[in-house]
Amino acid sequence: MDKQIMVAGYYGADNLGDEAILTGIIDSLSQNGFNNVTVLSKSPQKTEQMHNVKSIYIGRKFKGLNNIYRSLKSTDLFILGGGGLLQDYTKRVVPFWLSRVILALKAGTPIMYYAQGIGPLQTQFSRWLVKKISNKVNYITVRDSNSLHLLQTIGIDKTKIELTADPALGIEIHSDGNYLLRNEGIPINCHKNFVGVGLRPWYNDYKYLPVLQVALSYLQQKYDLNYIFFPFQKQVDEKICKRMIGRLDPNKSFIIKGHYTPEQIAAMISQTNGVIAMRLHALILSAISFTPCFGLVYDPKVYHFMSQLDLHKHTFDITADLTNEEKLTSSLETWWETKQYVKTQLEVNIPILQKRNMRNVEIVKELLSTF
């Protein structure tokens, strides 16, 4: 098919979670014959190398907007890519992403929000702006029911919103995860217990890290665990991971140092016995290989995903229980002791979410056949 599609998102910024979203989108489009894809990226060269697609600079403030507009004039569908783009933890985020949507509106290009995670929208201005612009787009899919409810609450036309699932759920694992881990110098084998850990900096990290350290150290000693830390945003996550490793058994704690694609990270995670993570896409890449996961909730999206899997009991809110070492340790111990049950829940629920994810590209087809 020669239809031209443009995808915008937080790409080319060395955030593996967002690259996992883009991988899922591109794979789904390609499997359905849509190969003429241009990605708006912070670093077009990185995006082209990782995803084998055309890419142009997403712009900063007003820089680069003319180039985007010219490209949009010959584009058949503009996709605001998956992920938590429309949230106002930082006040400039919502206006930035919607400014790119406005460009597509000005160019007369059909628009789809693709598996968005919406919110929080804490200010009246954010809610007003999302309502005003989003009611003008052609169709919106969201990755969780809370995002659906939020859009409906602020006044988005209910007939153009649909619940689907995160695009990263569509990633298929082909790489040899065992080989990749051994190449990292990690002595992976079936006679040892390895647990992946995905941390990120967040408010009050100096408070939750000591609590988490106590819990991880306890599990490491009781169950003879080896930890593999997966930095999903290089440099940023590495600092947190190294701080944690410094408080654990150094002979049983490892960190992934190389640069890998989301599919390769998923392959490595599939070789572990479980994953404990703050990063949403560490949990998603764990879940697609039915590797038992435990969610450290710093943002509602983590709890929402685990709830979709009927695994909300295997989460811990690090924003509410910052000093409760005993509760976190007990929760992790229960998770580890019942990890076979967790695996069964994944085997039941992940195929359901993967089917929902396929609906995203079906809507792309419908829009491209309509306009």
Can you tell me the mean pLDDT for 8-21? 97
Residues 16 and 58 both lie in one domain: yes
Both tokens assigned to 89:
């933890």
Residue 65 belongs to a domain: yes
The predicted structure's pLDDT at residue 252: 96
pLDDT band at 1 (very low <50, low <70, confident <90, very high): low
Residues 210 and 260 both lie in one domain: yes
Residues 152 and 182 both lie in one domain: no
Both tokens assigned to 2:
């020669």
pLDDT band at 61 (very low <50, low <70, confident <90, very high): low
- Residues 6+ away with beta carbon under 8 Å from 351: none
Residues 259 and 112 both lie in one domain: no
Beta bridge partners of 161: 140
User: Contact, 258 vs 184, CB < 8 A?
Assistant: yes
Residues 306 and 257 both lie in one domain: yes
The predicted structure's pLDDT at residue 202: 87
Residue 371 belongs to a domain: no
157 phi/psi in degrees, rounded to 5: -55, 115
Residue 369 belongs to a domain: no
- End of a domain among 134, 163, 192? 163
Residue 280 identity: L
Residue 282 belongs to a domain: yes
Both tokens assigned to 9:
């998102």
Reply yes or no on whether the pLDDT at 189 is more than 90. Answer: no
Kindly report the average pLDDT of the chain as a whole number: 95
Whole-number Å distance between alpha carbons of 196 and 276 = 6
Beta strand residue intervals within the chain, DSSP E: 5-8, 37-41, 54-57, 77-80, 111-116, 139-142, 161-163, 193-198, 225-229, 253-255, 274-277, 293-297, 315-317
pLDDT band at 320 (very low <50, low <70, confident <90, very high): confident
Whole-number Å distance between alpha carbons of 279 and 16 = 10
Residues 66 and 194 both lie in one domain: no
The predicted structure's pLDDT at residue 75: 98
Can you tell me the mean pLDDT for 149-172? 97
The range of the structural domain enclosing residue 110 comes to 5-163
The predicted structure's pLDDT at residue 282: 98
Structural domains of the chain, count: 2
Residues 158 and 304 both lie in one domain: no
Residue 258 belongs to a domain: yes
Reply yes or no on whether the pLDDT at 224 is more than 70. Answer: yes
Can you tell me the mean pLDDT for 69-80? 97
Q: CA of 269: how far to CAs of 53, 159, 285, in Å?
A: 26, 39, 7
Residues 185 and 151 both lie in one domain: no
CATH label of the domain that carries residue 222: 3.40.50.2000
Residues 149 and 187 both lie in one domain: no
Residues 132 and 197 both lie in one domain: no
Residue 362 belongs to a domain: no
Residue 254 belongs to a domain: yes
Residues 215 and 322 both lie in one domain: yes
Residues 216 and 302 both lie in one domain: yes
Residue with tokens 């703050």: 278
Paired sense of beta strands 161-163 and 139-142, if any: parallel
Q: CA of 158: how far to CAs of 8, 100, 101, 155, 212, in Å?
A: 24, 23, 19, 8, 41
Residue 290 identity: F
- End of a domain among 163, 198, 220? 163
pTM: 0.96
Whole-number Å distance between alpha carbons of 42 and 56 = 8
The predicted structure's pLDDT at residue 263: 98
pLDDT band at 60 (very low <50, low <70, confident <90, very high): confident
Can you tell me the mean pLDDT for 233-251? 93
Reply yes or no on whether the pLDDT at 111 is more than 90. Answer: yes
Can you tell me the mean pLDDT for 277-303? 97
User: What percent of the chain has a predicted confidence (pLDDT) above 90?
Assistant: 89
